Amino acid sequence: MNGVPLLSIENLQVHFRTPDGANRAVDGVSFAIQAGETLAIVGESGCGKSVTAMSILRLLPEPPASIAGAIRFEGKNLLDLPIKAMRKIRGNDISVIFQEPMTSLNPVLTVGRQIGETLRLHQGLSRREAEARAVEMLTLVGIPEPGRRVREYPHQLSGGMRQRVMIAIALACSPKLLIADEPTTALDVTIQAQILDLMRDLKRRVGAAIMLITHDLGVVAEVADRVVVMYAGRKVEEAPVRDLFRAPRHPYTRGLMGAVPKLGAVEHGATERLAEIPGMVPSLKQRIEGCVFAGRCPDVTDLCRTYAPALEPKAPAHLAACHYAPKDALAA
């Protein structure tokens, strides 16, 4: 972690104005992404992971959203940029893949046009150059017969193919950061396997940093280098992927890992009952005193209900926000 990170988010707060008061969707989240690394943001719906991603691209309507903190991309604070400068960054330096490949593609334009569009817009390529590059991109993402496919419309492609096209569009301008918001959630298992393979392969070849937003710990384990765990708008843990899965420090992360069924575990002697996290996510419309997880934590004490724990290093490069998380001696 040395040098200036590609993207650093500092104390990001995204609050939404609602008729019943402020909804603290993201409340003081900080993390950084280094060039070329894959950082996964994990959490359940409503934890603020997608809102964080949307605020990086400044895609949230303000109001009702209000954003505070800083989002530094290559040193520039994106929150201070005029919207025109922001448009230059979107799709060029930072691009995004959404969950639903059908609704993210324009149904009346050919695949080739849609890939070419970004290239012509950001890199000033001619129509012919853009089409040639589109074929190249389709080859890169493993679409057979790219020469024919560039002239097809999204509805002529299957779900897996469309997601490949989305990836091709996202990678067309060689972005430095790719935000992938639940890229495989809408896909079938066998297609998900193909896309994950593709993402791993592209990571090596393209070298873009990836911010992977997902609720699926299996996907995280397969592609991420580092993981940020979010809960109720806060970051509760951050660690290299192996450390996180080997020794999760936050009780929420531990609970999540127990609640996720592992294929083959029962056959190898695990109990059939899954571990549960009792209760449910607290409302973000009230200010939460103390630890956000206090209401569901098996080890909760009065201290947790009173004072929110600080995010502290518990092991090298391993942060957790829990008063009682074990702390290694060598942690700084």
64 scored as a contact of another protein (CB under 8 A):
yes
CB of 179 to another protein, least distance (A): 20
CB of 16 to another protein, least distance (A): 8
CB of 199 to another protein, least distance (A): 12
- Residues 309-312: contacts with CB under 8 Å, at least 24 apart: 311/30, 311/235, 311/238
Comparison of 2 and 45: residue with beta carbon closer to another protein:
45
Burial environment of residue 271 by CB neighbours within 10 A (0 to 12, 13 to 18, 19 or more): exposed
Comparison of 119 and 320: residue with beta carbon closer to another protein:
320
Give the residue from 135, 136, 137, 140 showing the smallest Cα distance to 150. 135
Comparison of 40 and 130: residue with beta carbon closer to another protein:
40
> Three-class SS of residue 152?
coil
CB of 170 to another protein, least distance (A): 21
- How distant is the alpha carbon of residue 108 from its chain centre? 29
Residues between 80 and 119 that touch another protein (CB under 8 A): none
Which one of residues 1, 2, 3, 20 is an interface residue with another protein (CB under 8 A)?
20
Six token digits for residue 91: 């799709």
Residues between 247 and 306 that touch another protein (CB under 8 A): 255-267, 272-278, 280, 285, 287, 289, 302-303, 306
Which one of residues 245, 282, 317, 331 is an interface residue with another protein (CB under 8 A)?
245
Comparison of 130 and 166: residue with beta carbon closer to another protein:
166
**Which residues does residue 226 pair with via DSSP β-bridges, in sequence order?**
39, 240
The CA distance from 302 to 289, in Å, is 11
CB of 74 to another protein, least distance (A): 19
Residues between 299 and 328 that touch another protein (CB under 8 A): 302-303, 306-312, 319, 321, 323
Residues 148-167: x where in contact with another protein by CB under 8 A, - otherwise, as a string:
----------xxxx------
Comparison of 97 and 322: residue with beta carbon closer to another protein:
322
Comparison of 122 and 254: residue with beta carbon closer to another protein:
254
Distances in Å between the Cα of 274 and the Cα atoms of 22, 259, 305 are: 35, 6, 27
Asked if residue 64 has a cis previous peptide bond (ω within 30° of 0), the answer is yes
Residues between 166 and 225 that touch another protein (CB under 8 A): 188-194, 196-197, 215-222, 224
Which one of residues 21, 207, 298, 316 is an interface residue with another protein (CB under 8 A)?
21
Comparison of 119 and 325: residue with beta carbon closer to another protein:
325
Comparison of 12 and 53: residue with beta carbon closer to another protein:
12
Do residues 37 and 225 make contact, with C-beta atoms less than 8 angstroms apart?
A: yes
Residues between 113 and 152 that touch another protein (CB under 8 A): none
Burial environment of residue 100 by CB neighbours within 10 A (0 to 12, 13 to 18, 19 or more): middle
Comparison of 24 and 176: residue with beta carbon closer to another protein:
24
CB of 52 to another protein, least distance (A): 14
Six token digits for residue 253: 């992360």
Q: How many residues bind another protein (CB under 8 A)?
A: 84
> Three-class SS of residue 239?
strand
Distances in Å between the Cα of 58 and the Cα atoms of 46, 134, 138, 250 are: 19, 27, 28, 30
CB of 173 to another protein, least distance (A): 28
**Sheet harboring 21-33: ordered strands across?**
21-33, 7-18, 65-73, 76-77
